[in-house]
Homo-oligomer: A and B are copies of this chain.
């Protein structure tokens, strides 16, 4: 669950990115993140999801070129590292936190229930931006899409949910959205309990969730917003294993750069 925002403060932006963000030609999404962290910010990179050894240094170089004064890579591999006071001190000094891609379950099993997870939520509640790409985006909500099948038609058992880091409980996030044909599994996840708004984020695209819970889309793709608040019926509670599932009255918006969606009022605008 998100940490409590103290009176007079605003939580920081939450920025799930759909993966494969442009790092060379026109790194618009990453540049925006650095800008949101303030002047000459100190950025912490968490590469836990990835098995690539060079991913930390890749983002260090990128964020430095984009204006970060300092980039620290926190190589958290074992749970016991997440109890280390030096790690907590580094995090507390950050102006923004970025989680790389890889496997979201590596993040949840390593950080979940440790002081690092608590401090990350505290930082965000105190106003610091938190961003993540691909697996780093999936881990952002309270309810995380851990894995699932491709395809457009929702069916029972299509998606595996697990607890995420819980920066917000207003959305569920899926990424590489069009590239991997994931609308079926996002709708399946919403069907279980139609309280959240689904965000299907394309590659090189981000949904910036501002402190007033208005989402702003940025990047070269789209964000597909699936709002089940007017749902009158789903058959997922009665469906056999693997059977297709009916859903009546979903509302869907496709938003490209500049588009906005208000999570409180459940309303989209260009």
Q: Please, could you name 26 A-B residue pairs with CB atoms under 8 Å apart, sorted by A?
A: A1-B1, A1-B142, A78-B233, A79-B194, A103-B237, A106-B237, A108-B193, A108-B237, A109-B191, A109-B192, A109-B234, A110-B237, A113-B194, A113-B195, A113-B196, A117-B195, A142-B163, A142-B169, A143-B163, A144-B193, A146-B192, A160-B161, A161-B163, A163-B192, A164-B193, A166-B169
Q: Which 3 A-B pairs have the closest CB atoms?
A: A113-B195, A112-B193, A162-B192
Cα distance A144–B143 when bound, in Å?
Answer: 11
9-residue interface stretch from A11-19, A89-97, A213-221, A224-232: A224-232
Q: Are B109 and A237 in contact (CB under 8 A)?
A: yes
Q: Is A127 an interface residue (CB 8 A)?
A: no
Q: Are B112 and A195 in contact (CB under 8 A)?
A: yes
Cα distance A225–B80 when bound, in Å?
Answer: 22
Supply 13 further A-B pairs (C-beta < 8 A) apart from A105-B236, A109-B192, A146-B192: A78-B232, A78-B233, A79-B194, A79-B232, A105-B192, A105-B237, A108-B237, A113-B229, A144-B193, A161-B163, A162-B192, A163-B196, A164-B193
Q: Is A157 an interface residue (CB 8 A)?
A: yes
Residues of chain A in range 62-117 having any CB-CB distance to chain B below 8 Å: 78-80, 103, 105-106, 108-110, 112-113, 117
Given A108-B193, A232-B79, A237-B103, residue A160 in contact with residue B160 (CB < 8 A): yes
Q: Are B169 and A1 in contact (CB under 8 A)?
A: yes
Q: Are A233 and B160 in contact (CB under 8 A)?
A: no
Q: Are A193 and B162 in contact (CB under 8 A)?
A: yes
Give chain B residues whose Cβ lies under 8 Å from the Cβ of A117. 195
Give chain B residues whose Cβ lies under 8 Å from the Cβ of A146. 192
Least CB separation from A105: chain B residue: B237
Interface string of A171-200 (1 = CB under 8 A from B): 000000000000000000001111110000
Give chain B residues whose Cβ lies under 8 Å from the Cβ of A236. 105, 109
How many Å from the CB of A108 to the closest CB on chain B?
4
Give chain B residues whose Cβ lies under 8 Å from the Cβ of A192. 105, 108-109, 112, 146, 162-163
Q: Are A112 and B194 in contact (CB under 8 A)?
A: yes
Q: Are A113 and B160 in contact (CB under 8 A)?
A: no
Give chain B residues whose Cβ lies under 8 Å from the Cβ of A80. 232
Cα distance A195–B113 when bound, in Å?
Answer: 4
Q: Are B157 and A160 in contact (CB under 8 A)?
A: yes
Cα distance A179–B201 when bound, in Å?
Answer: 43
Cα distance A113–B109 when bound, in Å?
Answer: 28
